[in-house]
Structure 1
Amino acid sequence: MSHKNPPIAEWRMLIDGELVPSSSGAVFENINPATDEVIGVTADGTREDFLRAIESSRRAFDTTSWSTDRAFRAKCIRQLQTALQRHAEEIRPLLSAEVGTPIWLTRDTLFDVPVARLSHYADLAENYQFDDELEDVDFRGVVSKRRIRYEPMGVVAGIIPWNGPWGSGLSKVGPALASGSVIILKPSPDAPWMGTIVGKLIAEETDIPAGVVNVVTAKDNYAGEVLTSDPRVDMVAFTGSAPNGSRVAEVGAKTLKRMLLELGGKSAWVVLESADVTEQAALAAKTICANAGQGCVARSRLLLPRARYEEGIAAAKAAMDAITVGDPQNPNNFMGPLNSKHHRERVLGYIERAKGDGNRLVRGGKIPEGLEVGCFIEPTLFADVKPDDTIAQEEIFGPVLAVIPYDSEEEALEIANNSIYGLSAQVAAATNEEAYEFAKKIRTGTVSINNGTWMAMDVPFGGFKQSGIGRQYGRQGFEEYLEIKVLGMPSGEKSGTLAWGEVEASDKVGKAA
C-alpha cells in the first residue's frame, strides 16, 4: 500500500525496527492549516500497535546492551543528528505545512536549535558521571564503602504536542537515549510527521537497534493512554496543556510512573515605570505573534504603569499593525495561521468572551480579510483588562495580548503572581539591578530581564504551580531520565566500635550471670 506523501514525509509507524502500517490498515489526513488542503496521510495506530511498541521497547531495554553501551549510544545519537541535518531542507517546508509555523522559525527554535542540541546529549552519553563515590561510613563497627549509580529509567513514553513538535520531541528523544533508556514517541495527530520522519531516518540511516525508539501515531489523542496506564512503561514525558497533563498524571498514578510534565503558562511581561515603555510594549506585541501565539512561554499579559498606559497601548497597536500575516512558507510573513479550525474557533471564543467581560478591543479579533481559507486570525490587542478576567487567567494559545494597568510595583507583582501558572515572565526596567530585584519575587520557573535570554542547553526549564512537574534541559533535566541506586559494601576495616554480633553476645552473658 502506498500513499502520495512528500518523499521525506513517512506515513508509516516505526515498531520494533520496521516501518509498518496500522494493524487496522487505517490512515488519517494531515491538513495544511494555511490552505485547508490535505498534504498527506499518516497511519492511524490501534491499541494493538501501542501494545506491540511497549513489548518491543521493554525487550530492547531488558535484553540488549543498549542501557550499558555508552559509546554506542553516543554514536547513534550523532547519526540521528547527521540524518536530520542532511534532510533539513526537505523537513523545513513540511514542518511549516503541517503546523503553520512561519518558515523563519524553522531556522531558529522550532527546528535547527533542537537538532543542534542532539550533540549535547551525545556528549552526555559519553561523559556523564553515572557512578560516584560517597565517603566511607562507620556503622556499628563496620566501615563501609558506598557508591551511587545513576541508571537509565527504562521505557519512556514521549507524548508530543503540535505547536513545537521538533523541539518537544527531540527534548525527549535526546536525554532518553543518552541515559540508556528507550522511548516510545506518540506525536500529536495535528503534527504527526515529526515522529514518523524520525522513525524513517532511524530505520534507514542509523544503527539504533530495534525497539530502542518506537513511533506510534493515532488520530485519537487519547489512544496513547495505554502508554500512561501500562505497568511496563516506567516514565511519561509529556508536553501539552495543563488539563491534559492532569489527565496524564491521573492515569499514570495507578502504576506510580515517573512523570515529567511541561505544561501551560500565562506569563506576564512587566514593564516597570523606569523602562522604555514604548519599546517594551511594541516588543511584547510582536513577540505574542511569533508562531501565532502558540507557545507555552508566550508572554500574553502586558503589565504597564498607569501613568504611561495609553502610550504603551499605542505602541503595541502600531507594532501589531505592522505584522505581516499570511502563507507561513513565505519568508516575508512574520505570522502564519493557527494550527486547526477547531483551535481557531477556540481562540475566537476567548475573544468574544473578552468583549463580553468589558475588555477594550484595540485591534484585531477576527479573521483577516483575504485569508478566509485556512486558519488565520488577526493579531489581537485588548486593553483595560482586569487581573481576574478570563483572558488574563486562561491560556488562550493565540496571538492575543491582554494589557493590564497597575499603580504601584507592589500591585504589579501581585498581578504577575495572580495565576495558576508559573512558567515564565519578562521584566523591564532602567537597570538590570532594578529588574532583577523585581524578578526574584515572581513565582515562575524562568524570567527574562531587559530582553536577556535564559534559554540554553544548561538551563533546567520548567515551571511552578500548574505549569508542570520536573525540568527539561540542563543537568537537572537529563537526570529526570535516571534512577538512583545506592550500594554499600564493607571495606574490610573495623573501627573498634561494638558491632551487632558483639552486642548480642554481651547481652547473653549478662543475662546468664
Structure 2
Amino acid sequence: MRKHDRLYIGGEWVEPAGSGTIDVVSPHSEEVVGRVPEGTTADVDRAVEAARTAFDHGPWPRMAPAERGAVLARLADLYEARLDEVAGLITAEMGAPLNFSQAAQAPLPQRMLAYYGGLADDVTWEETRPGLLGPSHVVREPVGVAAAITPWNVPQLLIVAKVAPALLAGCTAVVKPAPETALDPYLLAELAEEAGVPAGVLNIVAADRAVGEHLVTHPGVDHVSFTGSTAAGRRIATLCGERLRGCSLELGGKSAAILLPDADLAAYTGMLTLTTLLNNGQACIAQARVLAPRERYGEVVDALAERLAGLAVGDPADPSTDIGPLVSPAQRERVEGYIGIGRAEGARVVTGGGRPADRKRGHYVEPTLFADVDNGMRIAREEIFGPVLAVIPYDDERHAIELANDSEYGLAGSVWTADPEHGVEVARRIHTGTCGVNVYNVDVNTPFGGRKASGMGREYGPEGLAEYLEYKTIPTLG
C-alpha cells in the first residue's frame, strides 16, 4: 500500500494543517491501496500563497517561453521512463483496464507534456502593430495563478492538460485532484521537482468538494480550470462570474454515434464498441447513444449485442480484461439506477443489465445494451457514466442529425460510413466540440472541449495555451 503523509506545497513536502486522511480504495478488491493527507482550507491558503509568491516574485513568469518549454520537455522525458508505473497506479486507483491505462491513461499525459514543451517557438508572444500616433506593442502575458480541479476518471491526463499549458504560459498552479485518485499526483510532483520546476510553481492538495470551492473563490486565484459534472461546472461558473474571474469548463456529455445506412458493421463494430464503452463507460466523450437507420435497426442491435456479450469483465490488472469495475459503490448504484429507469421507461435490455455472477467483490456492472429506445427517455438524455449503451432508430439522415443535436450536451460524436467525405459533411452539422468519422480520438495538438452544457473553453493544442494568456497593448510615441 502506498502511504504519503505530506503535501506538495511551495516546492517542499510539508505537513498538512489537519489530521484527516483519504483512503484510496481499489474498486476491484475493495481494499485500501493507498492513503494520503486530506487537504483543508488552510492547506489551500498555503498553496495559493506559495503560487502567488512564485508568480509575483519568482523566476518562472520572467523566463523566456522557450526556457519554460525546456523544463516541460525534461519533465516529459522523466515521465516517459515511468509510464508502466503510472499505468499500473491508475488501474489500481480507479479500475481502468490495464490495456487502456497503457494505451491512454499513461502515454497521453506524457505526449501532452512533450507537446507543450516544444510549442514555445510556434507561438506569437509579442508583435508590433502600426497606430495613429505610433506603434503599439501587443504582448501575451500569463494570467496569473491557475486553479486546476480534476476528476477521477482520467486523472493524470486531466491534470496535465491544465498544468502543462498553464506552466508554458508562465502561470503558477494549484491542483486539487479527486480524492478517489489521490495517489498519482504525487508521482507527478516528484517528477516536476526532478525536472527543475521552481518552488511554488506547482502545488497539489487533494481534498473534498468544499475545499475545492474554497480554492475557486480564493482571492489569490486568477483563473479556474475545471473538469467534472455539469452541475458542478455551473456552480463554478457562477462563483467565477461573481468575481469576474476567468474559467474554463470541460463538463458532461451524452454523445451520439451515427451509423449511416452504408456503414460496414463488420468493420466498425469493434471500434464503435471501444468508443461507446471507453474506460468502463466512465468517459465524458463516450458515444452512449448509437443512432441506427430504421431499416437496419435489428442488424445493428444484434451486432452490438454480440460484441458486448463477448467482452471480458474482470480484474482490471489482467491484460485480457475489456471492462473493469466502476470507481465506487456510489457510481455502481447510479448506473444500476439508470438501468432500472430504462426498463421502467419501456426500453428493452438486450444483453447485460445486472452484476456479473462471477464477481463476488468489486463494483462491477455488466456491459448493458438497451434497444427500443426513444431519444426522449432519460437513458438517452442523461449522462450515466457507466457501461450502458442505447440504440435509437432514425428515419433518414436529416432525422439522425436532429436526434444527435437534440441534447443539452455538445461534447463529442461520430459518424460511421463507407463514404468518409460525406461523413465529414454530416460531422459538420453535429453541434459538438469534436465529431469523428469512422473513428473517435483526441489529439494533444487539436482543441478539445464542448458546447452547450458540455462546457466552455478549450484544452489541448495552442487553444489550450490561450486559456492561460492575457493580451496587453502598449502604445508608444517617440
TM range (shorter): over 0.9
Within the candidate set 360, 364, 373, 1:385 is matched to 373
What displacement does 1:251 show?
1.9
Q: Name the residue aligned to 2:214.
A: 226
What displacement does 1:430 show?
2.3
Structure-2 separation of matches of 1:444 and 1:332: 33
What secondary structure does 1:115 align onto? Answer: helix
Within the candidate set 447, 460, 463, 1:473 is matched to 460
What displacement does 1:457 show?
2.4
Q: Name the residue aligned to 1:213.
A: 202
Structure-1 separation of matches of 2:410 and 2:63: 39
Within the candidate set 357, 365, 368, 2:345 is matched to 357
Structure-1 separation of matches of 2:410 and 2:111: 28
What secondary structure does 2:365 align onto? Answer: coil
Q: Name the residue aligned to 1:44.
A: 38
**Compared with structure 1, are the counterparts of its residues 86 and 276 closer, same or farther at alpha carbon in structure 2 (3 Å cutoff)?**
closer
**Compared with structure 1, are the counterparts of its residues 43 and 315 closer, same or farther at alpha carbon in structure 2 (3 Å cutoff)?**
same
What displacement does 1:129 show?
2.2
**1:463-502 equivalent positions in 2, closer than 5 A:** 463-490=450-477, 492=478
Structure-2 separation of matches of 1:394 and 1:325: 24
Q: Is the 8 A contact 1:229 1:254 kept in 2?
A: no
Higher mean alpha-carbon deviation, 34-43 vs 87-96, is at: 87-96
**1:421 correspondence with 2:415:** no
Q: Is the 8 A contact 1:422 1:464 kept in 2?
A: yes
What displacement does 1:83 show?
2.6
What displacement does 1:27 show?
1.1
Structure-2 separation of matches of 1:375 and 1:441: 38
Deviations 1:433-465 (A, max 9, x none): 2212221111111111122x5522221111111
Q: Name the residue aligned to 1:14.
A: 8
Deviations 1:24-80 (A, max 9, x none): 122121100011000110110111000001111101000112102124422321232
**1:165 correspondence with 2:155:** yes
Q: Is the 8 A contact 2:225 2:247 kept in 1?
A: yes
- Equivalenced residue count is 477
Q: Name the residue aligned to 1:109.
A: 104
What displacement does 1:432 show?
1.3
Structure-1 separation of matches of 2:467 and 2:270: 38
What displacement does 1:393 show?
0.3
**1:46-65 equivalent positions in 2, closer than 5 A:** 46-65=40-59
Structure-2 separation of matches of 1:384 and 1:108: 34
What displacement does 1:23 show?
1.0
Structure-1 separation of matches of 2:330 and 2:15: 27
What secondary structure does 1:372 align onto? Answer: coil
Within the candidate set 309, 317, 320, 2:297 is matched to 309
Q: Is the 8 A contact 2:89 2:184 kept in 1?
A: no
Q: Name the residue aligned to 1:504.
A: none
Q: Name the residue aligned to 1:250.
A: 238
Q: Name the residue aligned to 1:506.
A: none
Q: Name the residue aligned to 1:260.
A: 248
Q: Is the 8 A contact 2:70 2:118 kept in 1?
A: no
**1:33 correspondence with 2:23:** no
**Compared with structure 1, are the counterparts of its residues 27 and 97 closer, same or farther at alpha carbon in structure 2 (3 Å cutoff)?**
same
Within the candidate set 320, 323, 326, 1:335 is matched to 323
Structure-1 separation of matches of 2:269 and 2:374: 18
Q: Is the 8 A contact 2:34 2:183 kept in 1?
A: no
Within the candidate set 77, 81, 86, 2:72 is matched to 77
Structure-1 separation of matches of 2:398 and 2:457: 30
What secondary structure does 1:443 align onto? Answer: coil
**Compared with structure 1, are the counterparts of its residues 379 and 234 closer, same or farther at alpha carbon in structure 2 (3 Å cutoff)?**
same
Structure-1 separation of matches of 2:408 and 2:364: 29
What secondary structure does 2:131 align onto? Answer: strand
Structure-2 separation of matches of 1:329 and 1:11: 27
What displacement does 1:221 show?
2.3
What secondary structure does 1:289 align onto? Answer: helix
Structure-2 separation of matches of 1:103 and 1:237: 28
AA aligned to 1:152 is: P
**1:235 correspondence with 2:223:** yes
Structure-1 separation of matches of 2:82 and 2:284: 28
Q: Is the 8 A contact 2:225 2:249 kept in 1?
A: yes
What displacement does 1:231 show?
1.9
CA RMSD of aligned residues (A): 1.5
Q: Is the 8 A contact 1:279 1:315 kept in 2?
A: no
**Compared with structure 1, are the counterparts of its residues 287 and 124 closer, same or farther at alpha carbon in structure 2 (3 Å cutoff)?**
closer
Q: Name the residue aligned to 1:97.
A: 92
**1:88 correspondence with 2:75:** no
Structure-2 separation of matches of 1:21 and 1:83: 26
Structure-1 separation of matches of 2:325 and 2:268: 25
What secondary structure does 2:105 align onto? Answer: coil
Q: Is the 8 A contact 1:10 1:197 kept in 2?
A: no
**1:462 correspondence with 2:449:** yes
AA aligned to 1:18 is: E
Q: Is the 8 A contact 2:158 2:227 kept in 1?
A: yes
Structure-2 separation of matches of 1:182 and 1:395: 33
Within the candidate set 155, 174, 179, 1:184 is matched to 174
Structure-2 separation of matches of 1:99 and 1:113: 17
Q: Is the 8 A contact 1:83 1:201 kept in 2?
A: yes
Q: Name the residue aligned to 2:191.
A: 201
**Compared with structure 1, are the counterparts of its residues 160 and 467 closer, same or farther at alpha carbon in structure 2 (3 Å cutoff)?**
same
AA aligned to 1:159 is: I
What secondary structure does 1:29 align onto? Answer: strand
Q: Is the 8 A contact 1:265 1:467 kept in 2?
A: yes
AA aligned to 1:104 is: N
Q: Is the 8 A contact 2:251 2:454 kept in 1?
A: yes
What secondary structure does 1:346 align onto? Answer: helix
Deviations 1:98-131 (A, max 9, x none): 0101111122221112212212211224553211
AA aligned to 1:212 is: V
What displacement does 1:327 show?
0.7
Q: Is the 8 A contact 1:28 1:42 kept in 2?
A: yes
Structure-2 separation of matches of 1:437 and 1:74: 38
Structure-1 separation of matches of 2:265 and 2:321: 26
Structure-2 separation of matches of 1:283 and 1:72: 40
- Specify every segment of 5 or more residues in structure 2 that has no aligned partner in the other structure, as ranges: none
Q: Name the residue aligned to 1:174.
A: 164
What displacement does 1:474 show?
1.5
AA aligned to 2:195 is: T
Structure-1 separation of matches of 2:314 and 2:473: 57
What is the TM-score normalised by the length of structure 1?
0.90
What displacement does 1:354 show?
0.5
AA aligned to 1:175 is: P
